[in-house]
Structure 1
Amino acid sequence: MPRLIFRIFNPTTQGERFDRDGEFIRQWLPALRDIPGKAIHEPWRWAEKAGVVLDYPRPIVDHKQARIATLSAYEAARKGGNTGPVAQTTGHSAIRIRRPASGF
């Protein structure tokens, strides 16, 4: 059985590779428009070093931690093992949204 290639894309790396100067980010995220140079790809790190408070949310997911957990779960599933219950280690809790009475 051929082994599947499993890729986990890193949004920061993708931005650095395909939008080196951050033109796309600056165009579509006005709150980040004034971040200097390549710091645009990790504005939260720049803000901490510069002592600046950004009007922009911090990352929701710790990519490094999520990557490790995903690869571990993938490997267990590939071997036919049970990864156990899914634990939410980062991010926000799910919010239940009531459906309207109209049946949507």
Structure 2
Amino acid sequence: MTKTDIIDILAEGTGLTKVETAAVVDGFLATISYALATGDSVTLRGFGSFRVVQRNARYGVNPKTGKEMNVPAHKSPVFKASRDLRRAVDQGINPTYTPASSDDGE
């Protein structure tokens, strides 16, 4: 599923236009990005949490050339799924939201 697919599903389910829905989705993603970039974590109850971790410098191997190289220390965003999300994925369902398109039998 792509961002466009998500926008289409949300627009259909909410009655907003695709342009309005895209603005909401873009704003949502920008807010998460900004929070992580400024050192905050983001928790979405029932979905999961985003946070930034510091990765240590290390040596790695370029898979194309096989050449050893230095990978500098850096920050990486990480996501941890909530128990509810893990359960929904494991059971093949999402109990908190069903797209409107699935109600038509499609």
- Give TM class, smaller chain: under 0.3
Which fold has the larger relative contact order, with Cα–Cα distance below 8 Å and residues 6 or more apart in sequence?
Answer: 2
More strand by share: 2
Q: TM-score, normalised by structure 1?
A: 0.26
